[in-house]
């Protein structure tokens, strides 16, 4: 899953994709996850971590879309679409 975003100026190209990975969870208390800003071709332009605690953690409910929305709010980004991962073909 990834989110397309309004272009953000990064050097040397604009980032247009927000990805999330490596969610670390302390059940009932907090979560920490990596965000990455990427170009449309997948090149990483910027990254960091976000911590969910308190009310933000309580509102999460384990929704991946919430993680994207929360990250966008924290980073001042505007999401234009949340794109699910393509289905994986089952082996024959």
Separation between Cα atoms, residue 50 and residue 70, nearest integer Å: 9
pLDDT at 30 (0 to 100):
95
Tokens for 65, please give them.
Answer: 């879309």
Report the alpha-carbon distance of residue 78 to residue 88 in Å, rounded: 29
Domain ranges of the chain: 2-83
List, for residues 39-92, the tens digit of each pLDDT value. 999 999 999 999 999 999 999 987 899 999 999 999 999 999 999 887 877 777
Phi/psi of residue 42, each to 5°? 100, -5
* Whole-number pLDDT of residue 88: 79
**pLDDT at position 91, please?**
76
């Amino acid at each position: 899953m990834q989110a397309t975003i309004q272009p953000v100026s990064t050097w040397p190209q604009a980032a247009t994709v927000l990805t999330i990975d490596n969610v670390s969870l302390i059940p009932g208390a907090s979560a920490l996850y990596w965000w990455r800003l990427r170009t449309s071709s997948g090149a990483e332009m910027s990254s960091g971590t976000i911590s969910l605690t308190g009310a933000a953690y309580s509102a999460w409910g384990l929704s991946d879309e919430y993680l994207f929305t929360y990250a966008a709010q924290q980073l001042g980004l505007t999401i234009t679409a949340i794109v699910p991962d393509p289905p994986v073909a089952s082996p024959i």
